[in-house]
Structure 1
Amino acid sequence: MRVRETFDSTILKDFYQGRETPIDREQDELNSRRSKFKNILENDTDFYLLHRCTNISAGWLSMLAASVVEDFANAPKTSEPLDEQVAALAFFSRLANDLWAIIELIETGFDLQARALTRSYLEHVDALICCIQDKELTKEFVRAVEPEDSNAFWHKYISKNKLKIRVSIFISEKIGVQNSKLVDILREDAELSGSMLLHPTVTAGLSTAFGNEDGDYESYPIFPTPLAASVGILRTILIHLFWLWFAMESLPKTAAGQWRGLFLTDALQNNRELDRFATIYSKMFGFLLDNQLLMIVSDSNEVPTTSP
């Protein structure tokens, strides 16, 4: 405590020059950002709806992860978990946790950081979609525990858009449009901004210095401020969670793709709360599609397809 008191009475005192205490100042700044975010929610209908739907999605993914953990705990000690159970727990946990983080970053004004995290988020969604369709890929994913194995898995299956191409083929088959570029078009902006922001380039630094061109900044963009333009992040994520919803079909309770059902115990198999939440999640996507909130493609840039 003596070291802390010395620091407060010297370094920190000089830094704040007799102004309000650090805690009060930091709280005031946070309250100001929260107020601005609340104003965006109240005045931007698209932002409000997509923000609420993203929170519902994070809740659904959290429930799925927790349910798999509970099923592990209640399963007979003699039974080994299925590969798809292990993979599902890893994916659902990461997707839920990262989505809560992205929501928090957006709410507190870290738009660029949210965009950077979204890039890797989309790769996780791609990997889960492809694992559901491929039991051998699932098996390799589950066995890639050591860092070098995980790195090898990434280079073999994910780098250079390998999984994204597979997802694009899967969605093309689902919507009945051969060689559709829909997946690429609807994530192009997110991939471009994410790539620029993740790597140490002059573009990444200047993006931070000058901010988002659609941003409403009260001060320099280097200071966090909530932006209505962050709605694009939410829309991109929801689009790809919609692709995942396609792939999961009747999961977690019954088989889909090449995955078996994820629950081995009656308690989870008969859980009505999971059924209720699954119904809400499905209705949510229906609402977004019916109101043209999910996929927006300008008339001058119709979804292109390539000839076979």
Structure 2
Amino acid sequence: MTAVTQSSLSDTHKRASDFQVSTILILTKIVADSFALRGLILSGFDVQAKILLRSTAEYMEALVAIIDNPDLASEFAILEEPGKSGKFWKKHLARGKVRYKIRKNWDEFFVGEEQATVQWFANWGHRSMALLAGLSHPTMAGGFFTAIPLKSKYSEKEWPSMFGERSDASVSTISIYMSFIFPILLVCRGFPFDIAWPHVHQKIKYDANDELHRHVHIGRDVLSSLVLSLVKETNLKYVYPEPDLSIFPDYSSFL
């Protein structure tokens, strides 16, 4: 998606709108963060991956808000100071404002479904924010899960975890990541092709003969199916391994 949008702007950078520039910069940050998250997880730094994910999730929510209301791009495009970005967040994203936008799109996606189902998915990623914030600030949990990464099975000889030790808790990290990326796929299912918005000066017409276009167009639906499979009840036991809590019985209530 980023490559398609960037290729469109490369020839028309002088006419690029605030919306186009904002979405490209946000997508670039999300893609770079995604590779960094993958590297941290594979290197055995799950807590650090979750700390990064908190920032990534905020960019994902900003992208949802801007795609839902492209007028916000003009305000986002002039955010150069931390104080201004904080005001933008409080005004447009904080206190459930993004949840309302996502809920509206879930209503359209789950036509005829029970409201409890819609509400659950609308708050899917948001429920993890407290966990991510708790690891981002100095807490016992951040140090504890770095020292003893959660696993379904421990060996007698463990590598010192401060140098990187893979954790089964990384499955939940990936799940949280997916819960934030899914609304991006949902809020505008045709993005970035054939968007009839005045904020997009040069529209990208979908070309079925273009391999990159096909990857974006078809891959989005495949990704959506994979994301939803993560929370399907019959798949949970295969997706989320049961952690072994026997090595720290005194902390079982804490975990």
Task: State the TM bucket, normalised to the shorter chain.
Answer: 0.7 to 0.9
How far did residue 285 of structure 1 move? 2.9
How far did residue 106 of structure 1 move? 0.8
Who is 2:188 aligned against?
248
Who is 2:174 aligned against?
234
Who is 1:205 aligned against?
143
Provide the C-alpha distance between the structure 2 equivalents of 1:159 and 1:251, rounded to a whole number of angstroms: 24
Provide the C-alpha distance between the structure 1 equivalents of 2:148 and 2:67, rounded to a whole number of angstroms: 41
Q: What aligned pairs does 1:120-135 form with structure 2 within 5 A after superposition?
A: 120-135=55-70
Q: What aligned pairs does 1:255-294 form with structure 2 within 5 A after superposition?
A: 255=195, 259=197, 262=200, 264=202, 270=207, 272-285=210-223, 287-288=225-226, 293-294=229-230
Does the residue aligned with 1:172 lie in a helix, a strand or coil?
A: helix
The answer to whether the 8 Å contact 2:149/2:166 transfers is no
Q: What aligned pairs does 1:41-60 form with structure 2 within 5 A after superposition?
A: none
> Is 1:295 aligned to residue 207 of structure 2?
no
Does the residue aligned with 1:143 lie in a helix, a strand or coil?
A: coil
Q: Where does the alignment leave 5 or more consecutive residues of structure 2 unmatched?
A: 236-255
Q: Where does the alignment leave 5 or more consecutive residues of structure 1 unmatched?
A: 1-63, 300-308
Give the TM-score taking structure 1 as reference length: 0.63
> Larger radius of gyration, structure 1 or 2?
1
RMSD: 3.2
Tell me how many residue pairs correspond in the alignment.
229
The answer to whether the 8 Å contact 1:239/1:295 transfers is no
The one-letter amino acid of 1:196's match is G
Provide the C-alpha distance between the structure 2 equivalents of 1:160 and 1:135, rounded to a whole number of angstroms: 20
Give the TM-score taking structure 2 as reference length: 0.74
Measured against aligned partners, the alpha-carbon deviations of 1:151-206 in whole angstroms (never above 9, x if no partner) come to: 22123223344323432343234323547322365336632331111012333223
How far did residue 297 of structure 1 move? 4.7
How far did residue 99 of structure 1 move? 0.5
Provide the C-alpha distance between the structure 2 equivalents of 1:212 and 1:162, rounded to a whole number of angstroms: 34
How far did residue 255 of structure 1 move? 1.5
The answer to whether the 8 Å contact 2:194/2:203 transfers is no
Who is 1:50 aligned against?
none
C-alpha spacing 1:154/1:225, structure 2 compared with 1 (3 Å) = same
How far did residue 283 of structure 1 move? 4.3
Who is 2:4 aligned against?
67
Q: What aligned pairs does 1:160-171 form with structure 2 within 5 A after superposition?
A: 160-171=95-106
Who is 1:103 aligned against?
38
> Is 1:115 aligned to residue 39 of structure 2?
no
Provide the C-alpha distance between the structure 2 equivalents of 1:206 and 1:253, rounded to a whole number of angstroms: 46
